Structure 1
Amino acid sequence: MRMAMLPTVVWAVVVAWLALAAHAAWHDNVLPKRAVKLGDHEVMRFMGNDTTEQDFKLILYDSSGSLLVGGRNVIYNLSVSDLQEQTRVVWHPNTGHKTSCMMKGGTENTCQNYVRILVETSPGHFLICGTNAYNPMCREFRLANGILELEKEFPGRGLCPFDPAHNSTAVFADDQLYVATIADFAGLEPLIYRNPLRTEQYDLATLNYPNFVSSFALGDFVYFFFREIAVEYLNCGKTLYSRVARVCRHDKGGPHKFRNKWTSYLKSRLNCSVSGDFPFYFNEIQAVTDPVEGRYGGHATTLVYGIFTTPENSIPGSAICAFTFQDIMDTFEGAFKGQASVHANWLPVQSTKVPEPRPGQCVKDSSTLPDVTLNFIKSHSLMDEAVPAFFGQPVMISTSFRYSGRFTAITVDPQVRTATKKAYDVLFIGTDDGKVIKAINTKSADSYQEVEPFIIEEISVFPSHVPVTVLRVLRPRGKSPRLLVGSHSRIYTIALARCYKDKIMSCSECVALQDPYCSWYKDIHKCQLTTQDKESIQNVSEGVHSDCGKPEIKTKKPSASVDKWDTTGSPPTDYGHAGNGDHNLPSTTSVPLQFTAETLAIAVASATIGALILGFITGFFCGKKCNKDEDNQLYADTDYEYFDQRQNPNSRLTSDLPEEVTYAEPVLVPQSLNKPVNLVLNMSPKATLKTPGSNTPGGNVGTVGAPMGPSLGLPTTGVSAGPHDIPLHYTPESYSTHGTLRSSEKYGTRGRDHRQRDFDHRLDGYSTTRSVKKVYL
């Protein structure tokens, strides 16, 4: 028992330490510097139609300054400056299409027209497509004087999904539309399409139930980001992988049967994981930013940030990873992945088996490519290596310890310059509980191999049950930039920064914000937006500056407290620290956390180990006592001398003769059905050893066995038992057995049986009697 408990205790200790080590490596203890609740005067709102669910999906900020919002049966044209509705276009499905949709099993809610494609083809001209009650339609509009005018309508199959629940993405480049969507009613035909080229139809190795997230054109290629069921993992189970795919913008298709197929389509896995001996992967991509050009530790590159999450049925977890296009290009120049047969593992393809010219490259005229190259790319569109994350690890990780849900949307204000001439990418991250997180990597300006995330503030924008689905940085002409925050039913805009110049009255407090947008100006003694034409004090990476002097009250670390900033107009209930002794302003409210993740892990590990030790001690003593009681009571209901001897090995025999003890042991004994069955008299072994000289009345066995004779149908006997006679036993004639314990004599015995006479013997020819003799030498 003790040996069985030890492995459990050891494993508990190991798991506890692993949990602590993994938790520490994840930077999951990063908490926001401030929790902000915005006032009504800081938010611009557009609610759309309050009577029905709008399902806002696409928001386009066009070159003229208008904001187009596509939803259910409507397209809104809003003013960027105040989100006021200028015009709207109502676009319902016609009666025939809606009736057909209902007959095919659709519902009143799904048999509507949901706008899913919204792109600007040229200044003032737009291509908009909707599901149109499972019969996709597209329209071309022209925006003139704030009014959308219809120019053309045509079927949208292959350009827009049938089902509003299917994700799709589109980008307009080189006067052509590139689309990744679902091309059939049943949702079984995903494709990446540009008229007339498309991906292979019904080929799981090309696209395996994908969910498209984003797309854009960069350089000679158009890139698509999506998640799909990993075909290379099907032999081991079912899981989702995040992908990046590319096609050449100059692809013209191949010759003959490949004339309508991509000749440059390749895809690779995106690796967003926590490194280690057994990496932890965030496999499901949810959102991607536009390409960002910047310098990171003196290294100039172009990258994208993406949101990756754990599966829906797993522990809620989200991560932000960055990927450079140089790493993406290097992966597409690496080895291909393939399988020799349907049931074989997916392995790297040897370079000697790759044809020339290399498949997947951009060529001047793809229609001249040889068939061997096109056949290879058809069956080997997957690359062997995954795209590694920039910085070598996720920029930020969040689990359910802090946030109730997952990250849902992301945008970036790239390369915001500070007073120290450094530049930082400011990330705005939406969550599914209505919050917006503003964060930076404080190490990005000095290194491209290190990560130190810092959450500047956490802004409560929507109610907790409303997820953030869209984030955009808007830069209206002549006005300060604002952050657009959208959900399925509402659209808000808020300021990018809150320097709180009316609340922060000291240099140290302003620098402690670590906000690239805010600096302290000595000449006016104010904390306000950073400008490059004035000298100011700022330190984004550390949050302290020598020019500010030593603060009177040390600011708590963000992992220990969260400052709550209320800008609604009502003062907080508690007052935080002031920057100096001359001011006592309601600027912050420090709310200590009840526990941190490390504390929780230590508490769980300690409680587990304590419970195991206590259980071990209790079980040990209880088991010891129970075993002792069982030893004392073992065979207490029998009067056999054999067991008495086992319990009392030092007891002496009271008889002068060597004592022979018989006891019953049930065995199957073959009996002859044509011979009479002689039953063995069952009596106490002590009784069989009685002699005429004993105090028991009657000096014969018959006298002792007489009471049992009639009940068993046996005749009594009057044979005397002398002092040296062997006790008489009734033994079946056909049965003989070897004795035990150095005895070869034949003895028989039978257990007590009070059944009727008819049941005194078995009818199958077998008996359950066996004699065993114990001899004390």
Structure 2
Amino acid sequence: MAPSVVFLLLGLLGSASSLPPPRISFLNSAERPLVLFSHPNVHNTTTLLLSNDGSTLYVGARDALLSLDVSQSDVINLKKKVDWRPSEEEMTSCSDKGKDAEVDCPNFVRVLQPLNSTHLYACGSYAYSPHDAYIDTESFSMINQRDGAKGRCPFSPSRGTPPSPSVNVNSSPRPRPTSEEQNRRFLDTSRGRSDVSQDVSVSLLEEPSFVSSALDPSDRKLYFFFSEVGKEFSFVDQLLISRVAQVCKDDMGGQRTLQKKWTSFAKAPLLCRSAKQLPFNVLQDVFTLQPLEGSMDSDTLFYGVFTSQWSLGPESAVCVFRLQDMRTAFAGRYRTFDTQTHQWSPMLDKRSYLGKCGLDNVSDSVLAEVKKSFLTSNSIKPDGLGPIVVSSEYRYSRVAVMRTQAANNKHYTVLFLLTESGFIHKVVLFDGGSQVVEEIQVFTQPQLVKSVVLSTSKGVLYVGTSEGITAVPVARCSIYRSCSQCVLARDPLCGWSRTTRACTGLQEGDHDDMAQDLEHANVEEQCQGQTEPGRDREISVHLNEAVQLPCLKPSNVATLSWTSPRIKDHTEKLFIQSADSVLSFFATADTFGTYHCEAEEGGYKEVIVSYDVRQVAPPRAMSPIPDTESHPPIGRDESYEDIVTNASERSTTRASAEPEDIITSKAGDFTTFVKEVDPDKDSTLKTDSEDEKADAPTSIHDVQFRKEQPDDLQTLTKEKSYHTELVVVSLLLTTCICILIFGGLHMWRHRKLGLKTNVLESPGDDSRINQSMESVPSLSSPEDPELKVVE
């Protein structure tokens, strides 16, 4: 294919309108709790079956079958476990065939269907040799295990493909198609008759990949949904086509022609594309939504998830098909296959017997035409002639659908779409389009095989992966804490109760008390008298301190803005709003005030949070309170020498004289210096000038006050000043050094004079010299030549 054609195809794919982003996201959030079940010895829990009462979840896993108690919404308990694994000899035989012992040879249970109220039917790959068995639900024990189940379930785990579809009719296992190349057959084992399979002389299927099956009870037909290679087109590259195939429930095969072969088999293409767009041609999953009570079976809907084989990104779409349209297609014109040229050509006229049931007694000529004419000429187009959901950012792999009644008594459809990246997208279909009301993260690591089962009665979606089973509640209305947010959510499962003033789930009955507007989200009309103004959050900061005001978006589609009289006057100079809507500025006289964060969504504005930014009030100064009774006020002209302080008033008297201690404590705009005085000394202090008298102490603590910086320099009010301590320590260090120097000089001078006076003659003998110097060590050294002892 030419590069220009490829770019054209990619352009056509990307031009379709895409699904809006999720309104709200929960990434492992505690506000949207999930229930996870996992067992250390159980893996690949991907085949799920919910009991009729919704209290038990049956799970087909690798080498095991599980019975889980899901009667409570907040916990999943293991009731019973049945081991179902191949023997060592069977594992060895599987490995000898060139299969991987860990990947291909275990028993992967791929089919799990109810037979009746007391038994289940199970089928597994079983070391690449399919086995099936019956399970007693009362004791959850295996009975009547047997081999020879080829065609009922896949040989291998079919990595990357969904479990093999199956359907139960009249309490017996029914046709189960497989994608195995060794045996592509449809089987019917009801009433003990022999198997009925497809005709092998004509290739009815071309490398099919089945995803789902459904029953049409009124027409007694079975439908199977799959993708296969389309041979009706002549392309160099293989073109995948999504299809639906039918067989009649009571098809017994022909008398001579097509003996034990399907005579009612027919298939039709499923077309999922928008106008003038390339189709989404690969079918991933199909969910069958039964009609409302009292409606006809022809109103049954099939919701299919599609991807494109040409897509380079995670594009996907959802199309819905009506059962009536499928019936019409199978009752219309067909194509016939030329066995010589291997080409398909449309038939000129309509054959009424093609695609019909009850052909077991027709002529051989009719069956010969049936044998080669099983592909419809017309494709089955989706309801609304286009996809209901198109996403250019997510690749959906599974879908579950429920229908619910809103407060206005109108029914809405809710889709639960599982992405390959591990998110559940809750999509609501409105008259004007679809919206993802929320996304919930289910698993973090990509899962190759996964399945979903929806319990509408309990309101829980069960997701089965190789890691375990996760229970996801379909709604959690309490996360919307205001009437506006509850209405803006547009969730048909949630409404604002005007009585309790809370967002709750809708219950059956009278909905007059509920505020809900799914189509227009008119908050003003629905929330009259229900909105309470929020209180301002007081933020106290210091002058010139950096301030950051956070504001969380109530939803992903809301836009935030800040309002304040301060912002209007100084927007560009003083304020910065980051990408996450945090408002940053420095606390100054121009920025103190009130700030409001507003969210706008759907034309409605509301204040999310308000802040009142104030300057920290300066604490009261720690000035001493004068005791006028014991110490009268000191006048300006009174001399400090006349002030006498009694030693008994001192509370921190030291027992011995110690160096002067200076203790600094900060209180408000003042710094207090506490200087201790020895009580043994004169308690009166003398100064040399009047300026020094002004700073002299007024008590035994020698308390002194110094005014802090002026108001315009109070940016340092939060930091403690150590200037005074530094000066005092420096003076003490200088004094000590000087004392050491003078002491050393004094000792050196004293010793020098002592040497000179000790050189004396003996009084008794003029000729002898006093030998007292012999005991004095010499101070002379080569480094000090001036100091010598004269003998």
Normalising to structure 1: TM-score of the pair? Answer: 0.63
Is residue 489 of structure 2 the alignment partner of residue 513 of structure 1? Answer: yes
Q: Distance in 1 between matches of 2:433 and 2:200?
A: 44
What CA deviation, in whole Å up to 9, does each residue of 1:680-719 have, x standing for no partner?
A: xxxxxxxxxxxxxxxxxxxxxxxxxxxxxxxxxxxxxxxx
Matched, 1:180 2:176: yes
Per-residue deviation, 1:175: 3.3
Cα drift, residue 135 of structure 1 = 1.3
Q: Which amino acid aligns with 1:429?
A: L
Kindly tell me: are residues 358 and 222 of structure 1, through their superposed partners in 2, closer, same or farther at Cα, counting changes over 3 Å? same
> What's the CA shift for 1:391?
1.5
Q: Distance in 1 between matches of 2:421 and 2:10?
A: 30
**Residue of structure 2 aligned with 1:504, choices 481, 494, 497:** 481
Structure 1: how far apart are the matches of 2:349 and 2:8? 46
1:585 Cα shift? 10
1:465 maps to what in 2?
A: 446
Counterparts of 2:119 and 2:10, CA distance in 1 = 57
What is the deviation of 1:542? 2.1
The answer on 1:45 being equivalent to 2:45 is no
Structure 2 residue 119 is matched with structure 1 residue 125: yes
**3-state SS in 1 of match to 2:408:** coil
**Of residues 456, 462, 467 in structure 2, which corresponds to 1:484?**
462
AA of the residue aligned to 2:291: E
Give the corresponding residue for 2:132: 138
Q: Deviations over 1:345-371 (max 9, x none)?
A: 53311116x3xx6122123xx321111
Structure-1 separation of matches of 2:371 and 2:26: 52
Indicate the residue corresponding to 2:48 in structure 1: 59
3-state SS of 2:242 partner: strand
Per-residue deviation, 1:408: 0.9
Deviation of 1:548 after TM superposition, in Å, equals 2.7
Would you say the 8 A contact 1:226–1:243 is kept in 2?
Answer: yes
Which of the residues 109, 119, 132 maps onto 1:115?
A: 109
* 2:29 matches 1:34: no
Alignment partner for residue 61 of structure 2, among 62, 67, 71? 71
Contact 1:180–1:190 (CA under 8 A) maintained in structure 2: no
Shift, 1:111, TM fit: 1.1
Specify the SS of the correspondent of 1:232. Answer: coil
Do structure 1's residue 543 and structure 2's residue 521 form an aligned pair?
yes
C-alpha spacing 1:470/1:241, structure 2 compared with 1 (3 Å): same
Structure 1 468/500 Cα, relative in aligned 2: closer, same or farther at 3 Å? farther
Residue 418 of structure 1 aligns with which residue?
406
Moved more, 63-72 or 84-93: 63-72
* Aligned positions, number: 534
Pick the aligned partner of 2:353 from 350, 358, 367: 358
Amino acid at match of 2:323: F
Q: Indicate the RMSD between aligned Cα atoms, in angstroms.
A: 3.6
- Residues 255-654 of structure 1 mapped to structure 2, 5 A cutoff: 255-276=255-276, 279-294=277-292, 301-311=299-309, 314-340=312-338, 342-343=340-341, 345-351=343-349, 354=351, 358-363=353-358, 366-399=359-392, 402-403=393-394, 406-414=395-403, 416-443=404-431, 452-466=433-447, 469-475=450-456, 480-500=458-478, 503-505=480-482, 507-531=483-507, 532-535=509-512, 536-545=514-523, 546-548=525-527, 560=557, 577=599, 584=609
Hey, what's the Cα distance between the residues in 2 that align with 1:466 and 1:84?
A: 23
**What is residue 447 of structure 1 aligned with on the other side?**
none
Residues 744-755 of structure 1: pairs in structure 2 closer than 5 A:
none
Q: Compare CA radii of gyration and give the structure with the larger one.
A: 2
Tell me: CA distance 1:235–1:188, structure 2 relative to 1, closer, same or farther (3 Å): farther
Gaps of 5+ in 2: 535-551, 561-579, 583-596, 612-791
AA partner of residue 303 (structure 2)? Y
Alpha carbons 1:408, 1:468 under 8 Å: kept? no
Change beyond 3 A, Cα 1:330–1:459: same
Supply the distance in 1 between the matched residues of 2:496 and 2:429 (Cα, whole angstroms).
21
Match of 1:243 in 2: 243
CA–CA distance in 2 between the matches of 1:92 and 1:16?
51
In structure 2, distance between residues paired with 1:285 and 1:17? 19
Q: CA deviation at 1:235?
A: 5.1
1:171 corresponding residue in structure 2: 167
CA distance in 1 between counterparts of 2:114 and 2:496 reads 41
Q: Which residue identity is paired with 2:318? A: I
1:83 aligns with 2:83: no
The Cα of 1:213 is off from its aligned counterpart by: 0.5
Residue in 1 that maps onto 2:565: none
Give 1:316 deviation, angstroms.
2.8
Higher relative contact order (CA 8 A, sep 6+): 1
Structure 1 segments of 4+ aligned residues over 6 angstroms from their partners: 15-18, 297-300, 550-553, 555-559, 572-576, 578-583
Mapped partners of 1:60, 1:525: distance in 2: 39
Question: What are the within-5 Å matches in structure 2 for residues 192-207 of structure 1?
Answer: 192-195=186-189, 196-202=194-200, 205-207=203-205
Distance 1:417 1:499 in 2: 16
Answer yes or no: is the 8 Å Cα contact 1:411–1:472 preserved in 2: yes
Shift of 1:298: 14
Contact 2:199 2:261 in 1 (8 A): no
Secondary structure (helix, strand or coil) at the match of 1:181 reads: coil
Aligned residue type for 1:107 = D
Distance 1:74 1:326, change over 3 A: same
Report the secondary structure of 1:368's partner residue. coil
C-alpha separation between the residues in 1 aligned to 2:8 and 2:367?
53
CA drift at 1:417: 0.3
Cα distance per residue 1:546-594 (max 9 Å; x no partner)? 23359999x999885599xxxxxxxx997884999797499xxxxxxxx
Q: Give the secondary structure class of the aligned counterpart of 1:217.
A: strand
Code of the residue aligned with 2:87 in structure 1: it is N
Aligned to 2:206, the other structure's residue is in SS state coil
User: For 1:513-553, what per-residue CA distance to the aligned partner results, in whole angstroms no more than 9, with x for missing partners?
Assistant: 00001112222222111223242121112222523359999
Counterpart residue identity of residue 304, structure 1: F
Note closer, same or farther for the CA distance 1:144–1:431 as it changes in structure 2 (3 Å cut).
same
Report the CA distance shift for 1:37/1:162 in structure 2 as closer, same or farther (over 3 A): same
Q: CA deviation at 1:377?
A: 1.4
Q: 1:249 to 1:562 in 2, by over 3 A?
A: farther
SS in 1 for 2:166: strand
Check whether the contact 2:336–2:344 (CA below 8 A) recurs between aligned residues: yes
1:436, CA displacement in angstroms? Answer: 0.3
Q: Does 1:222 align with 2:200?
A: no
Shift of 1:172: 1.1
SS in 2 for 1:465: coil
Q: How far 1:206 moved relative to its partner? A: 0.7
For the 8 Å contact 1:303–1:322, the answer to whether it is kept is yes
* Contact 1:44 1:83 (8 Å CA) reproduced: yes
Give, as a single letter, the amino acid of the residue that structure 2 aligns with 1:244.
V
Residue by residue over 1:652-674, the C-alpha shift from the partner in whole angstroms, topping out at 9 and shown as x without a partner, is: xxxxxxxxxxxxxxxxxxxxxxx
**How many angstroms does 1:307 deviate by?**
0.4
> Cα–Cα, structure 1 residues 294 and 144, in superposed 2: closer, same or farther, change >3 Å?
closer
For residues 320 and 110 of structure 2, the distance between their equivalents in structure 1, rounded to whole angstroms, comes to: 27
CA distance in 2, matches of 1:85, 1:417: 34
Instruction: Write the distance in 2 (CA, Å) between the matches of 1:44 and 1:493.
Output: 5
Once residues 22 and 102 of structure 1 are traced to their aligned partners in structure 2, the CA distance between those partners, rounded to angstroms, is 44
- Give the superposition deviation at 1:314: 3.7
Gap regions ≥5 residues in structure 1: 1-10, 444-450, 564-571, 587-777
What CA deviation, in whole Å up to 9, does each residue of 1:149-198 have, x standing for no partner?
A: 434434312212212217522111023322333486xx243122213343
Partner AA of 2:469 in structure 1: I
Which amino acid in the other structure matches residue 266 of structure 2? L
**CA–CA distance in 2 between the matches of 1:251 and 1:260?**
9
Instruction: Report how far residue 255 of structure 1 moved.
Output: 0.5
The alignment partner of 1:397 has SS state of strand
Q: Which amino acid aligns with 2:46?
A: K
